Structure 1
Amino acid sequence: MVQNLTKRASPHNVNDRKEVLSGSCIEATASEIIQESNENMTVADAVAQMFENLGVKSAYGVSGGAMASLWGALSNSDIDVLNFRHEAGAAFAATEGYFASGNPTVVFTTAGPGITNALTGLFAARGEGAKVILLSACTSAPQRGRWAIQETSTDTLPSSGIFTTGTVFNYASTVESAAQLPQIFRKLAVGMSQPGGYVAHLTIPTAVQNMLMDETQLPEQGVSCSLVTADAQVVGNVAKLLRSGTFAIWLGFGARGAASEIRQLAEKTGAAVMCSPRGKGIFPENHPQFIGVTGLGGHGSVMTYMQEQAPVRTLVLGSRLSEPTSFWNQEMVPSEGFIHVDVDANVPGVAYPHAETIGIVSDVKAFVLQLLDILEAEEISESQLKASQPSSLPKPERSPVEAGSESLIRPEILMEAIQKVIVDGTDAVVMAECGNSFTWSTNLLRFSQANRYRVSTGVGAMGHAVTGVVGAAQARDGIAVAIVGDGAMLMNNEISTAVKYQIPAIWIVLNDARYNMCHQGMKMLGMTGADAIIPETNFEMIARGMGAKGIRVTKESEITAALETAIAANGPIIIDVLIDPDRPAPSKGRNKGLASQGVKSTSEQKPKVQASFPNI
């Protein structure tokens, strides 16, 4: 399990100070301790205390001389501090640590490349809707413009976007004085308490980190914000519209906190339910009303439903309907359009700008509860509500797999074993890397609970799941599994970090010696000459060389035993699976959507719309 880091007593932790003083046979009153604490508190100490007050439990990063005081203050706080091998891996881990625990997380970096290395992971955190704070060091004012080591200033890096509020950071500030901290705390507290994601950046010059606090005191309490709710009359009008004809429910990641309420609504009304790739499990995939996953790695059953049993309206809950979720396929637009509920007012109506859309800004759970109350108050029976809905619905397909051989492993067989041993047999969080790992996992795995499956559709950076799995396993203090490709595993992994802290992360590597989404995609597009082959790598040897356990699987008959061994392991383990590179990744949902528009994905016909991988 996760190894707890040893903490030393720190000036800003009153409880630790009381224990130290008592052990030294020195008596002191609480007020004296607090007074001494305030007198010795540095800006770095105050920032660590501020993070504790915000509910931060874990910090992930790479240390450096410019942020030594910050690193020391974090390490002597009640926050678990994990030292990673690369800042991007730390940022991905912090993102997944947030989703696994629900607690805001911190990424810490030194100046210069420490900041720029972390930006991709923080870009992903913003896109995924995580609550993450970047804590970095920057060059002190007297040294700026003088070619300091890893100088971080407007002379070396653009301030816009990195050190200012904008597209990457919801809030950013450079701390030049201790007097700024109360205001910064309040802004962070407000941001962290609101629904949705919040990514912030605090950068502190090296000299400022060691400044003693004066009379400025940090507020001890945070800020609470009420949920965003819809007007009762608006919800009443929605109830009337939904009763007027068939409707379907389209779930996104933003609906993950309302799983039980959504199931109650679906079963009360008989509505068909579909979900985005990130929404898997919010509504049980084995439920008779579930028709499939939309978008990348999705199911042809969704298009069957839309073509043969199309609803009058679709109630969209917590989804941006982005390209990986919808491919903006016009056949997904019902005749009377969408009722689109989201906490972000900028979401409804954007993906399908020409479709009739009733946009409602509300927390999804609050909205569904309001809707249920109205339906209950109107005393309309379930049979009446279900009267307009189809009596039977298409189900996500499972293509039969012929009897196997003892040659290269078919991904379909691997997914069957993962389903049985990991998904059905444990409570582990399962993550899939971008690429074919994403499509195989999204299409073939089935989840009956929310918050057990994680993929990135906003950014889709290679290395997200490979490194994020460490943060997920650490934050939940339990097993997390990453299904990844060999290309991503070579790009940026944190095996060594997992070994250091004995974090129960499991990597299942689909080893086919190529960037196979690119390889298969170019082939389907009829394009030749592009080289996506990479040398075959033995990840079992890499794992053992880093101090982790490793298993190489070369036969289908070995898969189950390897997975069971991984589940029983007490630390990190890599399962290196040699898969058949010629098995086409499942894209039936996407291909069926393109076919409905008269598009062929090869050179037989010039595409009428954009056709590129992973959209083929």
Structure 2
Amino acid sequence: MSTESITKTTNPSQQLERKAGFQPNHISHETSGGSSIFSPPSPNEQPVDSESTQVTVGEAVVKILEDAGVHCAFGISGGGIGPFWAALNRSNIQLLHFRHESGAAFAATETYFASGRPVVVFTTTGPGITNAITGLFAARGEGAKVILVSAITPAGNRGRWACQETSAHTMPLSGIFTPGPLFNYATILESADQLPEIARRLAQGLAQPGGFVVHISIPTPVQTTPLKAPLPEPGFSHALPVASEEAIAECVRLLSEESFGIWVGFGARHAAQEILELAEKTGVAVMTSPRGKGIFPENHPQYVGVTGFSGHLSVLTYMQEQRPQRLLVLGTRLGEPTSFWSPQMVPADGFVHVDIDPEVPGVAYPSAQTFSIHSEVKVFLKMLLKHLPERLNWSPTSMLPRPEGYANAPRINGLVRPDVLMNAIQRVIVEGSDAIIMAEAGNSFAWATNLLRFTQPGRYRISTGVGAMGHAVTGVVGASLGRYGKAVAIVGDGAMLMNNEISTAVRFEIPTVWIVLNDGRYNMCAQGMALQGFKGVDTEIPNTDFALMAKAMGADGIRVNTESDLEAALEKALLSTVPFVVDVSIDSTQAAPIGGRIRSLIKQGAIESKGDQK
């Protein structure tokens, strides 16, 4: 979108503040000249043609999205989506053009988690849709609320080799244009008569707890078709799933009579206070999934560590030496990234598993005894706390193992060691600001998850389901926009080269920060493949100056070659009013804490066979 197409003078964040009541999160920046996320160009009100007052299907869809709480839309315009894009551009929804559809989808996911509001991704036909799919899979896996609006080839042109044809002749319709593993709800809008049902399904799905990923595909001529009648207002009621009194009574009995621990996942992020109250009332140990970091304070004496990928040995010490009879599982699927399906994580009498999705309990450990509770976690805990007796029939262990850490002091010479970088990030960013911190798939994820410590929910974001490279380097732009404040991405050089949205942050003056672990290789691949016994794997990347690359795009950046320069560089990045890249020359020889993942892969057969050896 060119600057000439913008006719107002407010920026994306000013609109969010005006329309959604957003306030800056303790950050106030001033810029000289131009406009930014803290003072930027306004969206999209344009003069309305008084002779054309009849509402079109495209405009009606935009109105449905506004009524559903959408405040921003990300994507790339052009081609078949043009009329819908024009309707968006005239609306109160803030429109941001990205450089790649997958980046727009990743950013939409993180904007949702930062703001709590659904976000639209718009694409044209063909590759516009397929480019966005990986980011949308991440949205589904992470539990975000994201709505894809795409174009589709008009019915009369399907099968006639249309430009970027999108139809059953060129791609599978099932699963892309219909509900399934990717989309909770999907439809092709062929007629205005479908709009009431679409409005109802959107309103209902977006109001329910948990994620909701949608695809509405509209043929280009349908986007401009006039409505014949006004849309009815959708009306429905929605209640949170609540455990029965009988289920609560059984939980009280099980947890009162036998020792237990608490295993916290991302789905329990809205119940942090109740989890803390339950832990302190009972004195039990608490552990979290990688995505659950910060839901329970990691400096609390009852915290034993992170489980699964890049987790802490202290968790296994607890399970081996102070093994509880049961584990109360709150809001986690217990999948491979969280548990590695390790038998050591199964307590003697199994799990009490609480989840808002009734299909989750019992899946990861089908042979383990599991008492399943279908409930929203916060509601369940309030009921449990109300009925749990003051005195238990067992006594919790007073001394619990604590997560281990590294204590290397900065050195004057040599490349930057990853653990020293994480210590600097802990001091300057985690403890010195309220910024959201994201970590990219790879060694960045491993080091950050293992070494950073958080004391409140919502500040640490990773993707463990899809785990796509490119999620954090692009999603961080959406996180910064969604929270109206600083967001920091800890990423590898491979991910930074794969797919980033520095240019988008520059365009909308969103002061995002990227910290690049620059070691000239896909180092998780290099270290992991070596541990698996594979030899001769090409993982090297030609050296890139990311600080120079950032400046070439209009951002700012600094190259850090020694550990003594780390804190000053991070402080400069936090104070920057423009997008900023901290390019860190990393010592690639320090082994990342990925042993659990490698052992899991080897158990699944991911080792070099004799026939592969050369």
Q: Is TM more than 0.5 here?
A: yes
**Secondary structure class of the residue paired with 1:422:** helix
The CA distance in 1 between the partners of 2:349 and 2:393, in whole Å, is: 19
1:357-391 deviation per Cα after TM superposition (whole angstroms, max 9, x unaligned): 0111110001001101112xxxx33xx33952101
1:154-184 deviation per Cα after TM superposition (whole angstroms, max 9, x unaligned): 1111101111111110110111111111110
Aligned to 1:5: 42
The CA distance in 2 between the partners of 1:287 and 1:320, in whole Å, is: 24
Equivalences for residues 91-170 of structure 1 within 5 A: 91-170=105-184
Q: Could you tell me which amino acid in structure 2 is paired with residue 201 of structure 1? A: H
Aligned to 2:245: 232
The CA distance in 2 between the partners of 1:387 and 1:567, in whole Å, is: 48
Equivalences for residues 388-467 of structure 1 within 5 A: 388-401=395-408, 404-467=411-474
Q: CA deviation at 1:401?
A: 1.8
Change (3 A) 1:527 1:300: same
Equivalences for residues 33-72 of structure 1 within 5 A: 39-72=53-86
Aligned to 2:21: none
Tell me if structure 1 keeps the 8 A contact 2:518–2:584: yes
Aligned to 1:252: 265
The CA distance in 2 between the partners of 1:589 and 1:157, in whole Å, is: 39
The CA distance in 2 between the partners of 1:478 and 1:287, in whole Å, is: 27
Tell me if structure 2 keeps the 8 A contact 1:509–1:574: yes
The CA distance in 2 between the partners of 1:567 and 1:88, in whole Å, is: 27
Equivalences for residues 182-331 of structure 1 within 5 A: 182-219=196-233, 223-331=236-344
Change (3 A) 1:222 1:282: farther
The CA distance in 1 between the partners of 2:243 and 2:467, in whole Å, is: 32
Q: CA deviation at 1:10?
A: 6.7
Q: Could you tell me which amino acid in structure 2 is paired with residue 507 of structure 1? A: W
Q: CA deviation at 1:400?
A: 2.9
Change (3 A) 1:393 1:612: farther
The CA distance in 1 between the partners of 2:236 and 2:73, in whole Å, is: 22
1:14-65 deviation per Cα after TM superposition (whole angstroms, max 9, x unaligned): xxx9xxx9xxxxxxxxxxxxxx99x511111111111000000111101112
1:217-239 deviation per Cα after TM superposition (whole angstroms, max 9, x unaligned): 242x5644111100011111101
The CA distance in 2 between the partners of 1:358 and 1:397, in whole Å, is: 32
Aligned to 2:88: 74
Aligned to 1:514: 521
The CA distance in 1 between the partners of 2:47 and 2:470, in whole Å, is: 36
Percentage identity across paired residues of the two chains: 58
Q: TM-score, normalised by structure 2?
A: 0.90
Aligned to 1:27: none
1:307-328 deviation per Cα after TM superposition (whole angstroms, max 9, x unaligned): 0000000000000001010000
Change (3 A) 1:209 1:326: same
Instruction: List runs of 5+ in structure 2 lacking aligned partners.
Output: 1-35, 609-614
Aligned to 1:24: none
Tell me if structure 1 keeps the 8 A contact 2:43–2:93: no
Q: CA deviation at 1:404?
A: 2.3
Which of residues 385, 388, 396 in structure 1 aligns to 2:392? 385
Moved more, 582-591 or 543-552: 582-591
Q: Could you tell me which amino acid in structure 1 is paired with residue 42 of structure 2? A: L
The CA distance in 1 between the partners of 2:443 and 2:235, in whole Å, is: 43
Aligned to 2:486: 479
Tell me if structure 2 keeps the 8 A contact 1:144–1:153: yes
Aligned to 1:502: 509
Tell me if structure 2 keeps the 8 A contact 1:269–1:386: no
Q: TM-score, normalised by structure 1?
A: 0.90
Q: CA deviation at 1:9?
A: 4.6
The CA distance in 2 between the partners of 1:465 and 1:455, in whole Å, is: 8
RMSD: 1.8
Residue 593 of structure 2 corresponds to residue 586 of structure 1: yes
Q: CA deviation at 1:526?
A: 2.7
Aligned to 1:31: none
Change (3 A) 1:142 1:479: same
The CA distance in 2 between the partners of 1:348 and 1:230, in whole Å, is: 14
Instruction: List runs of 5+ in structure 1 lacking aligned partners.
Output: 12-16, 22-35, 602-606
Tell me if structure 2 keeps the 8 A contact 1:434–1:456: yes
Tell me if structure 1 keeps the 8 A contact 2:257–2:393: no
Which of residues 383, 406, 428 in structure 2 aligns to 1:370? 383
1:281-337 deviation per Cα after TM superposition (whole angstroms, max 9, x unaligned): 000000111000001111000000000000000000000001010000001000000
Tell me if structure 2 keeps the 8 A contact 1:5–1:81: no
Residue 546 of structure 2 corresponds to residue 539 of structure 1: yes
The CA distance in 2 between the partners of 1:442 and 1:168, in whole Å, is: 27
Tell me if structure 1 keeps the 8 A contact 2:104–2:132: yes
Q: CA deviation at 1:7?
A: 2.5
1:66-99 deviation per Cα after TM superposition (whole angstroms, max 9, x unaligned): 1111111111111111000000000000000100
Q: CA deviation at 1:527?
A: 2.0
Q: CA deviation at 1:5?
A: 2.6
Tell me if structure 2 keeps the 8 A contact 1:61–1:109: yes
**Number of residue-to-residue matches in the alignment:** 571
The CA distance in 1 between the partners of 2:197 and 2:534, in whole Å, is: 56
Tell me if structure 2 keeps the 8 A contact 1:245–1:388: no
Tell me if structure 2 keeps the 8 A contact 1:303–1:589: no
Moved more, 522-531 or 171-180: 522-531
Q: CA deviation at 1:405?
A: 3.8
Tell me if structure 2 keeps the 8 A contact 1:498–1:504: yes
The CA distance in 2 between the partners of 1:7 and 1:253, in whole Å, is: 36
The CA distance in 1 between the partners of 2:606 and 2:285, in whole Å, is: 29
**Secondary structure class of the residue paired with 1:40:** coil
**Secondary structure class of the residue paired with 2:392:** helix
The CA distance in 2 between the partners of 1:199 and 1:364, in whole Å, is: 22
The CA distance in 2 between the partners of 1:386 and 1:81, in whole Å, is: 58
Change (3 A) 1:388 1:578: same
Tell me if structure 2 keeps the 8 A contact 1:42–1:212: yes
Q: CA deviation at 1:147?
A: 1.1
1:106-128 deviation per Cα after TM superposition (whole angstroms, max 9, x unaligned): 00000110000000000111111
The CA distance in 2 between the partners of 1:405 and 1:238, in whole Å, is: 56
Q: Could you tell me which amino acid in structure 2 is paired with residue 547 of structure 1? A: G
